[in-house]
Amino acid sequence: MNNASIYNKENTGVFPSEKEKTPVAALSKQMYCLYRDGFRSMVVGRTLWKIILLKLFIMFAVLKLFFFPNYLASNFNTEQERANHVLENLTGTAPSR
Amino acid sequence: MLSANTHKEVVVGDQILTTVDWARAQFALTAMYHWIFVPLTLGLSFLVAFFESIYVKTGNEEWKKLTRFWMTLFGVNFAIGVATGIILEFEFGTNWSNYSWMVGDIFGAPLAIEGIFAFFIEATFFAVMFFGWQRVGKGFHLFSTWMVAVGSNLSAVWILVANGWMQFPTGMAFNPDKARFEMQNFWDVALSPVAVHKFTHTTSSAFLLASLFVVGISALFLLQERHQKMAKRSMVVAAVFGFIASVFVGLTGDEAAFNVAHRQPMKLAAMEGLYVGQEKAPIVAMGIINSSKKPGDDLPAFYQEVKIPGLLSLLANRDPNSFVPGINDLVFGNAERNIVGAEQRMVTGKIALAELARYKYAREKGDEAEAAAALAIFDQHKGDLGYGYLNNPAEAAPPVSTTFYSFHIMVVLGTLFPVIFLAVLYFAFKGTLEYQRWLNLVCFFSIFLGYVASQAGWVVAEVGRQPWAIQGLLPVGVATTNIAASNVQTTFFIFLTLFTALLLAEIRIMMKQIKIGPEA
C-alpha cells in the first residue's frame, strides 16, 4: 500500500514532506511521529502504560529472576543430561509391578 | 491425589498439600485470571470493528464516538491483561519441567512464532487503531481495527491447539532416548477434531462474553438515563452478535461433547455423574450430587435429580438408544461392552514403564540387543503409559462433583444468554428498551454470569480430564518438577496478591471510563 492511500492528507503536521528522499524514510518518519504523538496525547493510556511497565518489571525482574528459574536449564548443562533426568523421573516414579 | 514423585509437603490446616497440589492450584489461579481478560479482548475487538464499520459506512460521527468509547474499554482490558499468560510459561519451566520437556518439540516453536506474530500485529495495528484517528484515512484505520480483531483471535490458535493436543494426543511419537513426544504430522496436531472444537467453542464463547459486556454496560447507561442513544445502538449490535455467538457456542459445544464422548469418555461420565453405564442414558437437568460416592461403591450418585432419558446417549453417539459408559465401566472395565477399564490399563502401563526402564538401563550398558527387545515390548504397550503410574484404578476418575456442577452451570447459563439477547432485540425494535428496568438489571448482572459460565467451561475441560496432564500418557503427579512444595506455595500467594491488585486496578479504571462515558 502506498503512503498516499494510507495517510489522510487533510491532517498535516507529520505528513511526509515532498522532500523526503525515499518512501521507506518517509514511512519510517510517519511511523515515528504516529507513535511519538500518540504517546504524548495519551490520557488514560499514561496510567495503563505505568501499570504495564510495573507489571512487566515485577514479572521479569522479580518473579522470573528470583522465583521462576527454568529448572532443567538451570540444573543441567546439555540436552542429553536433561533428557536423562526426565527419563529418570519417568521410569523411577512408577509403582512396582 | 497422585504423588508419584517424591514431593515435599506443606501442611495447611488439616490438609497435606504436595508440590503437585500447589502447582495445580497456581496454574489454575494464573489461567483463570488470564481468562478474565482474554475473552473480552477476543470478543470486544470484533465488536469495536463492527461499530467502526458502521461509522465508516454511514459517516455518522456518533458511531465514531461510540466506537472510541468501546475501544477505550478494550484498551484498558488489554493493557491490564497483557502478558499475564507469560506467567504460565514461567510455571511450565519451573513447576512442570518434566511436562514441558516432554512436549517441547510439539509446542515450543509454534508458541514462540505465535508470540512474535501477535507482538508485531499488535505493535503495528494497535498503534494505528489507538493513535491513528486523526492521521490515517478512514479505510486504513478500519483495516487496522479489523486486523487487531483477527490478529488477537489468531494469537489464541496455538495455545488452544496445545490444549487440544493434551486432551487428545495425536500426530506424535514418543522418543525414549530423548524422553520427548516428537511431532510426526503437523496437520494431525493442528487440525485434530479436539483442537478445532476447542478453538471454535472457546472463541465463540469469548464473542458471547464480550457481547454480554457491551449489553451489560449499555444497560447500566439506560438504568442511569445517560447516553441512551449510544447505549441502545451498542446493545442492538452486541445483542445480534451475541445471539449468533450463542447459537454457535451451542453447536460447537454439542460437537465438543460428542468428541469428549469418544476421546475422553471418563470426562463425559463425570460431567453427568454417570457411574453405571446404560443404554438410553439420561442427561441430568438438575441434581444434587453425592460427593461421598466413589467408583465401585453402592452409594447413590445423586441425592436428588431430574433426568431427561436418552439425551446423553443422543449427545454422545447421535442415537438416543445407544450405550454410554459410566465411571465404573471405565475404571473396572466392562467385558460385555468390550470396554477396557483403568484396572486393565494399569497392567499394560506398568509393562510399558518397566520396559522403558529396561531400555534405558540396556542403553546405558551398551547392550543394543536387549535395548531393542525392550523397545519392541514398550512400543506394544506405550498407549497406556500413563496408567502405569496409578496406584489405584479409581485414580483414573476426575473429581466428579466439580466437573458435574461446572458443566451444568455452564450449560444453564449458556441457555439463558440467547434469551437475554433476544429480549434486548425485541424491546429495542419495539422502542421501549430504556423502560425495561428489570431487563436492564438482568443485562448488567449478566456480565458477571458470563464470566462464571466462561470460567466454568474451563473447569469442565481441565478438572474433567484429571488425573492427566497428557491424556492417558502422563499424569499430573509425574509432570511436575521435583521441587519443594513451599516454593510453589510462596509464589502462589505472590500471584494471588499481584492478580488481585491488577484486577482491582482494571475495575477501577474501567469504572472511571464508564462514568465518564463516550464524552471522554
Reported ipTM: the value is: 0.82
The chain-wide mean pLDDT, for chain A, equals: 76
User: How confident is the model at residue B138, as a pLDDT?
Assistant: 93
Q: Which residues in chain B are closer than 8 Å to A71, comparing Cβ atoms?
A: 93-94, 97, 481, 483
Q: Is B309 on the interface with A (CB under 8 A)?
A: no
Q: Give the gap in angstroms from C-alpha A23 to the nearest C-alpha of chain B.
A: 16
pLDDT at A1 over 50: no
**Does residue B1 lie in a domain region?**
no
Examine the domain organization and report whether B485 and B412 are in the same domain: yes
User: How confident is the model at residue A29, as a pLDDT?
Assistant: 83
Give CA–CA dist B515/B382, Å, rounded.
59
Examine the domain organization and report whether B177 and B209 are in the same domain: yes
User: How confident is the model at residue B9, as a pLDDT?
Assistant: 61
More confident residue, B45 or A6: B45
User: How confident is the model at residue B502, as a pLDDT?
Assistant: 86
**Does residue B3 lie in a domain region?**
no
- Inter-chain CB proximity B136 and A7 less than 8 Å: yes
Q: How many CA atoms lie within 13 A of B220 on its CB side?
A: 14
Examine the domain organization and report whether B107 and B136 are in the same domain: yes
- Inter-chain CB proximity B83 and A59 less than 8 Å: yes
Non-local (6+) Cβ contacts of B90 within 8 A are A59, A63, A64, A68
Domain, as residue range, for B313: 275-337
Give CA–CA dist B238/B255, Å, rounded.
25
- 3-state SS, A38-56, equals HHHCCCHHHHHHHHHHHHH
Instruction: Report the residue from A59, A70, A86 with minimal CB separation from B86.
Output: A59
User: How confident is the model at residue B451, as a pLDDT?
Assistant: 97
* pLDDT classification of A21: cutoffs 50, 70, 90: low
Examine the domain organization and report whether B229 and B318 are in the same domain: no
Structural domain count of chain B: 3
Give CA–CA dist B465/B309, Å, rounded.
25
Residue B436: which region, alpha, beta or left (left: phi > 0; alpha: psi -120 to 50)? beta
Examine the domain organization and report whether B312 and B410 are in the same domain: no
Q: Give the gap in angstroms from C-alpha B318 to the nearest C-alpha of chain A.
A: 39
User: How confident is the model at residue B396, as a pLDDT?
Assistant: 95
Q: Is B351 on the interface with A (CB under 8 A)?
A: yes
**Does residue B15 lie in a domain region?**
yes
- Inter-chain CB proximity A58 and B513 less than 8 Å: no
**Does residue B209 lie in a domain region?**
yes
**Does residue B365 lie in a domain region?**
yes
Give CA–CA dist B509/B520, Å, rounded.
13
The answer to whether the bond into B39 is cis (omega within 30° of 0) is no
Q: Which residues in chain B are closer than 8 Å to A8, comparing Cβ atoms?
A: 134-138
Q: Which residues of chain B are under the pLDDT cut of 50?
A: 1-7
Q: Give the gap in angstroms from C-alpha A95 to the nearest C-alpha of chain B.
A: 6
**Does residue B189 lie in a domain region?**
yes
Of the residues B393, B411, B430, the one at which a domain ends:
B393
User: How confident is the model at residue A7, as a pLDDT?
Assistant: 45
Instruction: Report the residue from A7, A52, A64 with minimal CB separation from B79.
Output: A52
For A5-13, what is the mean pLDDT? 46
- Inter-chain CB proximity A89 and B353 less than 8 Å: no
pLDDT at A15 over 80: no
Instruction: Report the residue from A7, A68, A93 with minimal CB separation from B94.
Output: A68
Residue B270 sits at the vertex; the CA angle it makes with B269 and B274, to the nearest 5 degrees, is 50
Examine the domain organization and report whether B295 and B190 are in the same domain: no
User: How confident is the model at residue A52, as a pLDDT?
Assistant: 87
- Inter-chain CB proximity A72 and B101 less than 8 Å: yes
Q: Which residues in chain B are closer than 8 Å to A74, comparing Cβ atoms?
A: none
- Inter-chain CB proximity B93 and A72 less than 8 Å: yes
Domain boundaries, chain A: 3-40, 44-92
**Does residue B373 lie in a domain region?**
yes
User: How confident is the model at residue A6, as a pLDDT?
Assistant: 45
**Does residue B429 lie in a domain region?**
yes
Nearest to B290 by CA among B276, B279, B305, B280: B305
Instruction: Report the residue from B351, B389, B491 with minimal CB separation from A93.
Output: B389
Examine the domain organization and report whether B404 and B436 are in the same domain: yes
Q: Compare all CA atoms of chain A with the CA of B350 and give the residue at the minimum distance.
A: A97
Examine the domain organization and report whether B462 and B498 are in the same domain: yes
Examine the domain organization and report whether B232 and B299 are in the same domain: no
- Inter-chain CB proximity B482 and A41 less than 8 Å: no
